[in-house]
Amino acid sequence: MKQLETILRIRSLDLVCALPAAEFLARLKSMDGHACWVGLRSCVVVSKVQANRSFVIRLKALTGRSHSDPPFAGKVLEVDDQTTRIVGSYRLPLGQVLLVWLLGSLGVLDFLVHSDGIDLILLDVLMPEVDGFEVCRRVKADHRLRNIPVLFLSSLESAADEAAGLSLGAEDFIHKPFSPPVVLARVQNHLKISRMTRLLKNRNEDLEQLVVERTHQILEQSEELMRQKQEVIVAQGATITAFCSLAEARDNETGNHIRRTQHYVKTLAEQLRDHHRFRDQLNDEVIQLLFKSAPMHDIGKVAIPDVILHKPGKFDPEEWAEMQRHCEYGRNAIAQAEVELGQERSQFLRYAREIAYCHHEKWDGSGYPQGLKGEDIPLSARLMAVADVYDALISERVYKPAYPHEQAMAMILEGRGTHFDPDMVDALMEIAPSFKAIAQRFSDEELPAEKRPQT
């Protein structure tokens, strides 16, 4: 259909209705100054204007409200097969309410889908093409339209008809003959409910958008925290590397000892993580910290004089007393690093300090430097004691040869409950092949074969 553009001057406009396009021209000629009927093919939305105001009606496939028009308090669609308009004929004082009248039920859904927010539907029941019950059913079945309230206006009087309409999802059922005050009150009430429902829906959408935006912010903050945590982890690694490099430079016997022992500690901790005595203390994060801290167990040896540290024979009592002080020296150095880094960033050093100071303690209290006994010895140090002794047994020292893996395991088993935590020894026996594999993986290749750890 060709586009029509007609300029009309209306004295007062109380009612705007929609009709098939073929009826538009006939209706246009009979305008009485109180109502305007506009339509195109199925139907279009048209604009209400104030009295004595010029306006332009542009008939296109879909026509919306002009941005210059004043806002409506509500938009009501009346669907009836009679030319006598129910609400319009009573001249109800609806104020700034746009009333759109649709003659017949054909095209109702299309109109609703393409219209600009209908707030209320006044629906006749008895219509020739599609009755009001079916129109209501289709409206309530469409997720885009089901929230629009439907009021039946009908001459049907039986309770069964009213129940049928309400069962389809209609909000109200008004019987003829109509009482104008009753119709007005119900229309206004449902318009208020519809308006509040729409405001609530818009508010919920705003809140959902706010949640999306806030979630995005939280994810960004989480990513930033993860980045900072990675930086801390890198700093931890760098600190440990510096400490351990210093230890390796001082102790010729170290070799790959620190690498093997840290893997022993990790493997043993993973075996014990589900044990009832240890499950509250061992998790992925703690085990990773133990793995990083283990290499610093002998960091205090950097403070031991070379003449003692590299002595090929047995220590005399004074030398042995000084050698034992490497635990204290290591603890003091790590404690100072904790102070420098601050409590929040030095969590990993806590385990390093415990290991350095207590890894020579024994389960029965005969160890050094404090003579701690049983569970008074930190868990980290008990793990380190098993790892350190196993590696010392399979490695050659100036005072002993390297023992085979099986002999080393037998000697540790003898120390169950005296030197070592008994549950840790039991766990070690279950994973003995893993310790042997670690020793082979990190063997001291630079040493002569007879001096490498025996596996």
- Strand pairing class (15-18; 53-59): unpaired
| Percentage, residues of the chain above pLDDT 90 | 34
What's the rounded mean pLDDT across residues 231-251?
68
Look-up of token digits 């104030």: 50
**Angle of helix 379-394 versus helix 284-293 axis, rounded to 10:** 50
Beta bridge partners of 35: 15
Query: Has this prediction a pTM greater than 0.75?
Result: no
Look-up of token digits 């586009």: 3
The tens digit of pLDDT for each residue in 299-325 reads: 898 889 988 888 888 899 999 999 999
Contacts with 291 (C-beta within 8 Å, 6 or more apart), sequence order:
262, 263, 265, 266
Q: How far apart are CA 434 and CA 302, in angstroms?
A: 31
Q: Is 103 helix (H, G, I), strand (E, B) or coil?
A: strand
Q: What are phi and psi of 261, to 5 degrees?
A: -65, -35
pLDDT at res. 150: 92
Contacts with 92 (C-beta within 8 Å, 6 or more apart), sequence order:
180, 183, 184, 187
pLDDT of residue 288 exceeding 50, the answer is yes
Dig out the tokens for 241 from the structure.
């590397």
Q: How far apart are CA 238 and CA 334, in angstroms?
A: 14
Q: How far apart are CA 233 and CA 289, in angstroms?
A: 10
pLDDT at res. 67: 42
Q: How far is CA 321 from CA 251, 302, 326, in A?
A: 18, 16, 10
Which residue did the predictor score with more confidence, 455 or 189?
189
Beta bridge partners of 16: 36
* pLDDT category of residue 448 using cuts at 50, 70 and 90: low
Lowest mean pLDDT among 87-101, 187-201, 244-258, 359-373: 87-101
pLDDT at res. 229: 77
Residue 213 is inside which H or E element, if any? helix 180-250
| Selection from 113, 100, 108, 97 nearest residue 132 by Cα | 108
**Angle of helix 405-414 versus helix 432-441 axis, rounded to 10:** 130
Q: Residue 34's CB: how many other CB atoms inside 10 A?
A: 13
Lowest mean pLDDT among 103-112, 151-160, 205-214, 369-378: 103-112
What homologous superfamily is domain 251-451 in, according to CATH? Answer: Hypothetical protein af1432 (1.10.3210.10)
pLDDT at res. 10: 26
Dig out the tokens for 38 from the structure.
């506009």
* pLDDT category of residue 249 using cuts at 50, 70 and 90: low
pLDDT of residue 391 exceeding 70, the answer is yes
Report which listed range, 56-60, 392-396, 450-454, is most confident: 392-396
Residue 327 is inside which H or E element, if any? helix 326-341
The domain locations on the chain are: 4-209, 251-451
* pLDDT category of residue 393 using cuts at 50, 70 and 90: very high
How high is the mean pLDDT of the chain? 76
pLDDT at res. 349: 84
Q: What is the DSSP letter of 47?
A: -
% helix / strand / coil in the chain, to the nearest 5?
Answer: 50, 10, 35
pLDDT at res. 54: 28
pLDDT of residue 406 exceeding 70, the answer is yes
In whole angstroms, how large is the CA radius of gyration of the chain?
44
Which fold is adopted by the domain 4-209?
Rossmann fold (3.40.50)
* pLDDT category of residue 161 using cuts at 50, 70 and 90: confident
Answer yes or no: are the C-beta atoms of 133 and 125 closer than 8 Å: yes
Report which listed range, 113-122, 171-180, 329-338, 430-439, is most confident: 430-439
Q: Is 99 helix (H, G, I), strand (E, B) or coil?
A: strand
DSSP secondary structure string for all residues of 161-203:
HHHHHHHTT-SEEEESSP-HHHHHHHHHHHHHHHHHHHHHHHH
Contacts with 88 (C-beta within 8 Å, 6 or more apart), sequence order:
14, 15, 17, 35, 78, 99, 101
Q: How far apart are CA 373 and CA 66, in angstroms?
A: 88
Which residue did the predictor score with more confidence, 429 or 199?
429
